[in-house]
């Protein structure tokens, strides 16, 4: 990336009063988590939009729950990468929350624990718009549990007998209204929306950067390729999140005056 654009991007970050970062599956690609729509994506011969739906879960719970069990086992080997950690450090330094993720892999939370220790300040923690695959919830009541390995029987809620399912938002399900409200307010008040590793096709999350722009803020994109947002971004940094984010966000050592 040429120097001028890089200097402009670093200045935009330095001068931003309020920043929201929206991340997608691309930020976890370097951690070995398969993305949704890239080649070699998530599942051998299904499309996530077909499997990750309440209809599929009702029609064929075993196949859907096996898919999530497979994803959980793949995730067990993954660790946060330098992109997750640079974002955790960035919001820790700024001291105010602004990290919003579409991902359900829990890697932003693990990066915050690695960067800020056992009880990270809220500023370093992500708003997980689509939930977390490391948790189960009951399809009927509010009961939640840490995810457990799938046994032979379809797991049931001990309190009400409802289906125990991953605590994620499936396609066609509504997001938690409170979380979405908080994310929208962060986007509207931000003067910079940093969009990292998302194809920006899934709504309502993909509307957040546009909310920043409509309120007069700027969009800055970090992605290995063009997306639906590239043309409306004030800066589009082409490359891998794990490489770009530390260089973009970490305070650089002051250049020694020669
Ligand atoms: C909703 C949890 C109200 C599950 C996810 C018809 C019926 C019903 C709904 C709809 C419909 N048509 C449209 C909708 C709305 C739908 C939607 O937007 N669909 C899309 C597919 C068109 N949205 C919903 O259903 C939402 N709910 O709207 O409720 C409603 C209700 C009923 C009817 C209408 C409306 C719920 C959406 C949440 C779905 N759940 N996850 C699970 O994970 O199992 S979303 C899922 O996709 C993941 O969370 C993922 O994060 C997300 C978005 O994908 P991306 O993150 O962008 O990943 P992708 O692979 O696409 O892109 C990766 C990017 O990274 C690429 O750009 C690549 O270039 C880049 N990259 C790769 N490597 C790197 C990199 N960048 C940087 N560095 C690298 N190294
Ligand atoms: Zn229950």
Confidence of residue 107 (pLDDT cuts 50, 70, 90): very high
Atom of ligand 1 nearest to the CA of 83: 78
Predicted model pTM? 0.95
DSSP H or E stretch at residue 69:
helix 61-76
| Average predicted confidence (pLDDT) for the chain | 93
Ligand sitting nearest the alpha carbon of 157: 2
Closest-CA residue, ligand 1 atom 39, reads 171
What is the distance in A from the centroid of ligand 2 to the CA of 135? Answer: 14
In whole angstroms, what is the distance from residue 24 CA to residue 170 CA?
15
Domains and CATH numbers, the chain: 3-33+80-130+175-249 (3.40.50.1220), 48-76+139-168 (3.30.1600.10)
pLDDT by residue (tens digit) across 74-95? 899 999 999 999 999 999 999 9
Nearest residue by C-alpha to atom 36 in ligand 1? 171
Q: How far, in Å, is the centroid of ligand 2 from the Cα of 141? A: 4
Nearest Cα residue to 78 out of 53, 46, 103, 51: 103
- In which band, very low, low, confident or very high, does the pLDDT at 134 lie, cut at 50, 70 and 90? very high
Res 26 pLDDT > 60:
yes
Q: How confident is the model at residue 83, as a pLDDT?
A: 98
Query: How many CB atoms are closer than 10 A to CB 76?
Result: 8
Lowest mean pLDDT among 34-48, 61-75, 192-206, 213-227: 34-48
Q: What is the pLDDT of residue 49?
A: 80
Closest ligand to residue 46's CA: 1
Distance in Å, CA 48 to ligand 1 centroid: 9
Query: For the chain, how many helices (H) and strands (E)?
Result: 9, 9
53 near 172, Cβ under 8 Å? yes
Residue 164 alpha carbon to ligand 2 centre in Å:
8
Q: For ligand 1, atom 33, which residue shows the shortest CA distance?
A: 172
pLDDT score for 97: 96
Examine the pLDDT at 245 and tell me if it is beyond 80.
Answer: yes
**Nearest CA residue ID for atom 23, ligand 1:** 203
- Give the ligand at the shortest distance from the Cα of 140: 2
Mean pLDDT, to the nearest integer, of 145-157? 95
Q: Please identify every residue annotated as catalytic.
A: 130
pLDDT classification of 42: cutoffs 50, 70, 90: low
pLDDT value at residue 242: 98
């Amino acid at each position: 990336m040429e120097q001028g654009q890089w200097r402009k991007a670093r200045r935009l970050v330095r001068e931003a009063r309020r920043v929201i970062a929206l991340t997608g599956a691309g930020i976890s690609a370097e951690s070995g988590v398969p993305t949704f729509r890239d080649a070699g994506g998530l599942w051998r011969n299904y499309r996530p939009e077909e499997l990750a739906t309440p209809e599929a879960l009702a029609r064929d719970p075993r196949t859907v729950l096996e898919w999530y069990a497979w994803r959980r086992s793949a995730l067990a080997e993954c660790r946060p990468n330098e992109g997750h950690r640079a974002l955790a450090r960035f919001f820790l330094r700024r001291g105010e929350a602004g990290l919003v993720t579409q991902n359900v892999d829990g890697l932003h939370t693990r990066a915050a624990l690695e960067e800020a220790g056992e009880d990270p300040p809220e500023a370093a923690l992500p708003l997980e718009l689509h939930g977390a695959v490391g948790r189960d919830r009951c399809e009927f009541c509010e009961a939640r549990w840490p995810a457990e390995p799938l046994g032979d029987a379809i797991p049931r809620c001990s309190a009400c007998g409802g289906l125990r399912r991953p605590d994620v938002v499936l396609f066609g399900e509504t997001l938690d209204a409170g979380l979405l409200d908080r994310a929208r307010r962060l986007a509207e008040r931000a003067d910079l929306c940093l969009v990292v590793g998302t194809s920006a096709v899934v709504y309502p999350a993909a509307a957040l950067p546009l909310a920043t722009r409509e309120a007069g803020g700027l969009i800055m994109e970090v992605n290995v390729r063009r997306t639906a947002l590239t043309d409306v971004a004030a800066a589009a940094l082409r490359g891998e999140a794990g490489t770009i984010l530390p260089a973009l966000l970490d305070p650089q050592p002051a250049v020694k005056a020669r």
